[in-house]
């Protein structure tokens, strides 16, 4: 880490200001070579002056200075706030590089912050999540984890498990002391408590995943039931082609909409039917294949025509796959009472959940549908300001693995194995938990994580 690195920290487009960041032991030297000011640059201050290169004024700028270790990276950091034109920003970066800095890799500032102990790995990952956040909830969760909420919890769990290992070791090394704590039953109850604490964090992942990636929703149903009309209604503009010709939508049409605190990634699909048309056939296959990757299906039934055998076939396919779904009766403006009651009766007889009735064309019942979706994903009830929520797949996998080790430990006790075998599994568990905060990670993992960062972060 002896090099001094530099990069543009803001997006390259015309704007009020741009920031060029420099980090490393030569930061101040480089600034002194290229920056002229009437004031002296002190740590934690920002001063006005000019960037001068080969006697020529390049720009009027503000420069700040953070002295190691009190900076984002833990090294000496200087930041040049220049005018936000793309050319001037690139020019100043080039001058900084010519005067001794190397160009930073994506995420290198944050990687240095991690390596210098300014933040642990889960906090660094929260920084990426904060930058990539698409909803307010997502950014709040990321901010909490950036503050170290997850790290604190993981550290506490590890400490308690290390304490357990210490008790076990004492009892093995000094068997003449009869500690209550190392009775197999008390170890089992402690392991059970830890398993349920970890499970509790793990259970937040689904919420976290929806918050981070959005909910993948597919609108499915037979041709001409109004799937594309519903998509257009939810999107608030004519995204998909709507006609009265069955088989209008051939390929999947995607649109993203915000529903309260969640993002819905909606796919409008080709109406499902037996067809000889080659293109439509491919579309129908895609509609069915989408079932492998969705979180929610809105299954549309044509209220004007009633429900058919094919509808039940697809609905039972959805049920069997265990996918969340909402049956939606569309074209309510054309639906006769007798047909509606037949549909409702048949749905009930076939064990299908209660439908939502809408008219996509008349914009009727859409709020009900939105409420049902929100209820299913429960995100609006989520108290993200108090609850620790994980959104990261790496964290989920490691928490799962930790639980498995604790279960292994329990199994060993139940099999009557010597108590010190237990500590082998508990140790594996603490090591795995450590990987979440970066206590036990390989260089490979570190590189992979920081590669995901943008330039200048």
Ligand X SMILES: Nc1nc2c(ncn2[C@@H]2O[C@H](COP(=O)(O)OP(=O)(O)OP(=O)(O)O)[C@@H](O)[C@H]2O)c(=O)[nH]1
User: Which residues of this protein are in contact with ligand X, per CB under 6 A?
Assistant: 221, 223-229, 242-244, 246-249, 270-271, 330-331, 333-334, 359-362
Residue number, 154 or 218, with CB nearest to Mg ion: 218
CB 121, min distance to Mg ion, A:
45
CB of 187 to Mg ion, least distance (A): 60
Least separation in angstroms between CB 58 and Mg ion: 56
Please give the structure tokens belonging to residue 38.
């009437």
Asked whether position 269 contacts Mg ion by CB under 5 A, the answer is no
Q: Does 249 bind Mg ion (CB under 5 A)?
A: yes
CB 358 within 8 A of CB 364: yes
CB 48 within 8 A of CB 104: no
Residue placing its CB nearer to Mg ion in the complex, 42 or 362: 362
Q: Which stretch binds Mg ion (CB under 5 A): 94-102, 178-186, 221-229, 274-282?
A: 221-229
Give the nearer residue to Mg ion in terms of CB position, either 123 or 287: 287
Closest separation in Å from C-beta 291 to Mg ion: 18
User: Is position 233 an interface residue for Mg ion (rule: CB under 5 A)?
Assistant: no
Kindly state the smallest distance separating residue 218's Cβ from ligand X, in Å: 13
Partner whose footprint covers residue 361, from Mg ion, ligand X, none (CB < 5 to 8 Å by kind):
ligand X
Shortest gap between Cβ of 311 and ligand X (angstroms)? 13
- Spatial neighbors of 11 by CB under 8 A, at least 6 apart, are none
Q: Which is nearer to ligand X, 107 or 271 (CB)?
A: 271
**Binds Mg ion (CB under 5 A): choice among 81, 228, 335, 392:** 228
Residue 359 binds which entry of Mg ion, ligand X, none, with Cβ cut-offs from 5 to 8 Å by kind? ligand X
Residue 226 interacting partner from ligand X, Mg ion, none (CB closer than 5 to 8 Å by kind): ligand X
- The per-residue DSSP string of 386-435 comes to TS-----HHHHHHHHHHHHHHHHHHHHHHTT--HHHHHHHHHHHHHHHHH
What SS3 class is residue 109?
A: helix
49 with 41: CB under 8 angstroms? no
Give min distance, CB of 313 to ligand X, in A: 17
Find where tokens 């740590």 sit: 43
Which lies closer to ligand X via its Cβ, residue 177 or residue 237?
Answer: 237
Tokens of 299: 């299954």
Give bridge partners of residue 298 from the DSSP assignment.
219, 326
Question: Pick from 99, 153, 146, 140: which is nearest to 119 by CA?
Answer: 146
* Beta carbon nearer to ligand X, 271 or 434: 271
Q: Is-contact 451 124, C-beta < 8 A?
A: no
Nearer to ligand X, 27 or 249 (CB): 249
Contacts by residues 332-339 (CB-CB < 8 Å, ≥ 24 positions apart): 332/303, 332/357, 332/358, 332/359, 332/362, 332/364, 332/365, 333/359, 333/361, 333/362, 333/364, 334/303, 334/304, 335/303, 335/304, 339/303, 339/304, 339/305, 339/306
Which tokens is 113 given?
A: 């912050």
- For Mg ion, the closer of residues 216 and 248 by Cβ is 248
DSSP state of 105: P
Closest distance between ligand X and the C-beta of residue 402, in Å?
46
Footprint on this chain of Mg ion (rule: CB under 5 A): 227-228, 248-249
């Amino acid at each position: 880490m002896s090099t001094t690195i530099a990069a543009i920290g803001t997006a390259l487009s015309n704007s009020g200001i741009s920031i060029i960041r420099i980090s490393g032991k030569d930061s101040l030297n480089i600034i002194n070579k290229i920056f002229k000011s009437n004031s002296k640059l002190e740590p934690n201050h920002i001063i006005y002056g000019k960037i001068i290169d080969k006697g020529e004024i390049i720009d009027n700028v503000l420069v700040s200075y953070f002295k190691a270790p009190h900076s984002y990276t833990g090294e000496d950091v200087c930041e040049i706030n220049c005018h936000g034109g793309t050319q001037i920003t690139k020019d100043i970066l080039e001058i900084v590089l010519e005067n001794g800095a190397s160009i930073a890799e994506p995420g290198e500032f944050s990687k240095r912050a991690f390596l210098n102990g300014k933040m642990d790995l889960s906090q660094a990952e929260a920084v990426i999540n904060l930058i990539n956040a698409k909803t307010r909830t997502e950014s709040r969760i990321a901010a909490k984890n950036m503050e170290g909420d997850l790290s604190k919890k993981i550290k506490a769990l590890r400490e308690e498990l290390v304490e357990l290992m210490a008790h076990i070791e004492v009892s093995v090394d000094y068997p003449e002391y009869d500690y209550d704590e190392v009775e197999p039953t008390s170890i089992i109850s402690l392991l059970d408590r830890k398993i349920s604490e970890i499970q509790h964090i793990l259970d937040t992942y689904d919420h976290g995943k929806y918050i981070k990636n959005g909910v993948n929703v597919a609108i499915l149903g037979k041709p001409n039931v109004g799937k594309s009309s519903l998509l257009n209604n939810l999107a608030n503009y004519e995204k998909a082609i709507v006609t009265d010709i069955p088989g209008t939508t051939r390929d999947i049409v995607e649109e993203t909409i915000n529903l309260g605190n969640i993002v819905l990634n909606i796919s409008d699909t080709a109406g499902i039917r037996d067809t000889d048309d080659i293109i439509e056939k491919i579309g129908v296959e895609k509609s069915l294949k989408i079932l492998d990757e969705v979180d929610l299906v809105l299954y549309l039934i044509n209220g004007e025509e009633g429900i058919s055998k094919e509808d039940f076939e697809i609905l039972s396919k959805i049920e069997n796959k265990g996918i969340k779904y909402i049956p939606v009766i569309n074209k309510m403006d054309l639906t006769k009472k007798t047909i509606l009651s037949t549909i409702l009766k048949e749905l009930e007889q076939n064990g299908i959940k209660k439908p939502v009735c809408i008219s996509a064309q008349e914009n009727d019942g859409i709020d009900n549908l939105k409420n049902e979706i929100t209820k299913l994903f429960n995100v609006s009830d989520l108290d993200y300001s108090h609850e620790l929520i994980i959104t990261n797949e790496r964290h989920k996998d490691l928490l799962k693995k930790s639980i498995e080790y604790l279960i292994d430990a329990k199994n060993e006790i139940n099999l009557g194995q010597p108590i010190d075998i237990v500590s082998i599994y508990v140790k594996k568990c603490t090591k795995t938990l450590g990987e979440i905060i970066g206590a036990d990670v390989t260089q490979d993992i570190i590189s992979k994580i920081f590669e995901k960062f943008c330039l200048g972060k």
